[in-house]
Amino acid sequence: AQTVTQSQPEMSVQEAETVTLSCTYDTSENNYYLFWYKQPPSRQMILVIRQEAYKQQNATENRFSVNFQKAAKSFSLKISDSQLGDTAMYFCAFMIDNNDMRFGAGTRLTVKP
Amino acid sequence: EAQVTQNPRYLITVTGKKLTVTCSQNMNHEYMSWYRQDPGLGLRQIYYSMNVEVTDKGDVPEGYKVSRKEKRNFPLILESPSPNQTSLYFCASSLAGNQPQHFGDGTRLSIL
């Protein structure tokens, strides 16, 4: 069965510092896609970053970058220069070719001034 | 404006009273999906649809029905709601299954 594990229920970081959120997944498939979504208090779901498993290069989107380790089945999110607006719940998600989407339980991130 | 629209945003109802949550997207997306979000469990996929008249079960389909008669609409039907279906529900759509999904604003359902 495909599963996604986020081992950190809550994290905090000082404004302007860097924080890394961890995510591991389990699958026997070789072709899949990984995502990080952000859910601020407004409860909207917002895409942060996307990674195709066949690409070795780590995806980057402005202050957000991932460390994708396919062999270890790890997909961590690094947020640089944290801002107060980054305070949110962050979900790691994983989709294989049959369009079955799995989310982790989430990490609640608080950015402190 | 590109969006996914869910209605209602909030609903309190009683056990056994059939209800429908509507979902509509204006982006001509092929793929649509329903999720429920519960504390400590993240989002779990209920049903998804890759195109008109094509639907498939996700992780937690029991107690739910869907239909995809038109490309833009993907309603979620609870024929006989029960308290364990009290949750926050999201509809989402994308160009294809492996593309980033656009989410609706969520529907908070309370079944008493």
pLDDT at A97 over 90: no
Query: B1 falls in which pLDDT band (50, 70, 90)?
Result: confident
* Interchain CB distance below 8 Å, B45 and A102: yes
pLDDT at B30: 93
pLDDT at A37: 96
- The pLDDT tens digits for B49-83 are 999 999 999 989 999 999 999 999 999 999 999 99
* Interchain CB distance below 8 Å, B33 and A4: no
- The pLDDT tens digits for B3-31 are 999 999 999 999 999 999 999 999 999 99
User: How many angstroms separate the first and last alpha carbons of chain B?
Assistant: 36
Considering all CA atoms of chain A, what is the largest pairwise distance in Å, rounded to the nearest integer? 43
**What is the Cα gyration radius of chain A?**
14
Stronger pLDDT, B13 or B99, i.e. the higher one: B13
pLDDT at B96: 83
**Mean pLDDT score of chain A, rounded to an integer?**
93
Give the number of residues written for chain A.
113
Mutate to test the interface with B, among A51, A90, A101 (most CBs of B within 10 A): A101
Chain A: closest CA distance from residue B44 (Å): 7
B88's tokens: 């926050």
pLDDT at A19: 98
- The pLDDT tens digits for A27-78 are 888 889 999 999 999 999 999 999 998 888 899 999 999 999 999 999 999 9
A86's tokens: 């980054």
pLDDT at A98: 61
Q: What angle do CA A33, A2, B111 make, to 5 degrees?
A: 100
| Nearest Cα residue in chain A from B55 | A99
pLDDT at A99 over 80: no
Chain A: closest CA distance from residue B17 (Å): 27
Chain A residue numbers with beta carbons less than 8 Å from the beta carbon of B45 are: 100-102
* Spatial distance between the Cα atoms of A102 and A62, rounded to a whole number of angstroms: 25
Q: Choose among B34, B48, B71: nearest CA to A98.
A: B48
